[in-house]
Each structure stands twice: as C-alpha cells, then as structure tokens.
Structure 1
Amino acid sequence: MLVAVNGLKVTGQQLDDGRDALQVLQDEANYPINLKFARPRLTTNEKIFQASMFYPLYALACQLSPEPRSSGIEVLEADNFRMNCFQTLTGVKFMVISDPKQSGVDALLHRVYELYADFALKNPFYSLEMPIRCELFDEHLKTALEQAERQGFSNV
C-alpha cells in the first residue's frame, strides 16, 4: 500500500496537498520521485478476529504441553504481526498485536497489568469476568499507550 509520495502522506488516492497520487506518478515532471510503501493496518474487527482465534490455540497448547500447568502460548508470530499474551495468576489475559520487529511488548503488557490491578481490581464496582468500565483505568491506559508509542512502540 502506498503511504507517501515525496514525503506527503497518501490517504486513499489523495496526497495531503489535495493532488491525486496517480496523476503525480504519471507526470514525468515529478521524477525522480520518492515512494513509501507499507502493509495496510489491521482494522479493529480484524484484530478482534485474530484475538478470538488465539484463545482456542492457547487452550490447545495448554492441554498438549508436556509441562504441567503450562501457561500456553505467550507469543504467536506471523509474517506481518505478532500477538503477545500475558496471563495473570487469576486467568485474565492481556493481548497486544504489534509489528513483528517491535520490541518492548512484554514491558507494555506488564504495565497494562499494573494498571488493571490498580484501577480495575481495586474498584469496588468492578466484577471479574466483566468488561472493564473504569474511567481512571482508561485514562492511564491511554497515557501508557501514548508513552509507548513515543518511545518507538507502534501498532498497538
């Protein structure tokens, strides 16, 4: 997927300055030209689908492991993504889908677990097995993700 032409971001087929990317490519006067390509980002539905496919594999790995009380799959790596899973002692799983080359995912997962313990588990209105609906957790999670992105972590 074409993401930039001569440093200008491409959205659909249009450059940030309003010109059509294909017309810029066809015009020989624009050469030499610098093109930047990237894989398309996963949609939210695609990420949810991948996470839902991960759970049965995780359970199967736990059952097939020769190691008693195995923690199952911790990392599932493909050519264009890596899914890391961190399971807490209470069985709650946190997953991050990232670029395969991305580093620092384990630290991010541990930070998310700390936030979960501080803001969800200590909230008297939170029930286990229910979605986390805690404004403080959401705010701190957003801050942690922004901080991770500034430090070079992307595609969370």
Structure 2
Amino acid sequence: MKLYSIYILNKAGGLIYQNNLDPSLNRLTANDYLVLAGTLHGVHAIAAKLTPTIVGKDSTSTTSGTDPTANNALLLSTGKVQNSNTNKTGLGSIETDLFNLYVFQSLTGIKFILITSPNPILQKQHEQASETFRHLYVLYSDYVMKDPFYSLDMPIKSQLFDLKVGELAALV
C-alpha cells in the first residue's frame, strides 16, 4: 500500500491538515481541497444517518437512545450504553480502480482520511489502513495536541508533525 495523501478534518468538517505524499500526482487548488474536505464530511454524516441501528455482539439490533428498554438491555449485556451523539459507522472506505480512500473518526469528532494506492487484496489493505490510522492518531496526540501553541480546530502548522508523518508514510 502506497500513501498518496493524508487529510485531517476538524469536527465541523474544516480541513486542518493536508499532506500530499506522492509528488508525481497532480495538485489541486487550495479551494478544491476545502471543497473536498466539506464533501467528505457531509457524505460521512449522511452515511451515519443511513445506518440508524446498532448491531450488538449478540446480533440483536437496537435503536440508539430512543428506547429506554433497549438501552437497559444493552447496558446489562455489554456493560456499555450507546451515547445518542455517537457516530455509529459513517463512511469507512471507498475502493476504486485508481485509489482507495479510508476514513477514521475519533471519539472527539476529528476525521483522519488516507488516500492510498489500490490493492487487489482488500482485507490486507484494510488492516494496514487501521494500523496506519493508529500510528497517525498517536502522532497527532503527541505532536499536535500536546503543543502549547496549537489552538483546537485551527490548521496544523507543526514542522515536527510533518516530519513524523513523512516518516510514517515511508514505513507504510
């Protein structure tokens, strides 16, 4: 799997980080990147609304937060209750002949988007994308969120974060 681009969107859908890792690809304009981020945020939100049920571990389906009996049953069976504002699934991935796009949304609403080369073995690529998201989130936590000069939901301008993302892309 080759990483083409990495995007990070804030919880409102604004593009706060964009890194094109493959210099051979055509560049978009700054406005096109913002439109792309807003479109992906909107599609992710719509996809989450299209799947309003949660499938539990026991393969029973419950609605999120509307039925107190269902919430009690979920709490008793799993020890957890589904928060009404939790995004259940949303857009997870898009596979095409030219590229694959993967989306990970953190609990705080930050979306991490990877655009990669296509791979005929999708299961392996999904596992690689999950591992890359895990490493990317650790880098984001360590080099962006712990930066005393960074303000939430503002563009990420950390050179050290850029360097570490480049190292991560080289390992993938």
Q: Where on the TM-score scale, by shorter chain, does this alignment land: which range?
A: 0.5 to 0.7
Partner of 1:22: none
CA shift at 1:51, angstroms? Answer: 4.7
CA shift at 1:116, angstroms? Answer: 0.1
Partner of 1:127: 151
Residue 105 of structure 1 pairs with residue 133 of structure 2: no
Q: Which of the two has higher C-alpha Rg?
A: 1
Equivalent position SS for 1:45:
coil
Partner of 2:51: 65
> Structure 1, residues 1-55: CA drift from partner, whole Å, max 9, x if none?
xxxxxxxxxxxxxxxxxxxxxxxxxxxxxxxxxxxxxxxx652329936554322
Name structure 2 gaps, 5 residues minimum: 1-23, 54-63, 65-85
For residues 52 and 42 of structure 1, the distance between their equivalents in structure 2, rounded to whole angstroms, comes to: 22
> How many positions carry a matched residue from both structures?
108
- The residue identity in structure 1 corresponding to 2:99 is F
TM-score by length of 2: 0.55
Identity over aligned residues, as a percent? 32
- The residue identity in structure 2 corresponding to 1:80 is L
Note if contact 1:73-1:85 (Cα within 8 Å) is conserved in structure 2.
yes
* Candidates 101, 108, 125, aligned match of 1:90: 108
- The residue identity in structure 2 corresponding to 1:111 is H
Name structure 1 gaps, 5 residues minimum: 1-40, 149-156
Equivalent position SS for 1:79:
coil
CA RMSD after TM alignment: 2.2
CA shift at 1:82, angstroms? Answer: 1.1
Higher relative contact order, chain-length normalized (CA < 8 Å, sep 6+): 2
For residues 38 and 98 of structure 2, the distance between their equivalents in structure 1, rounded to whole angstroms, comes to: 18
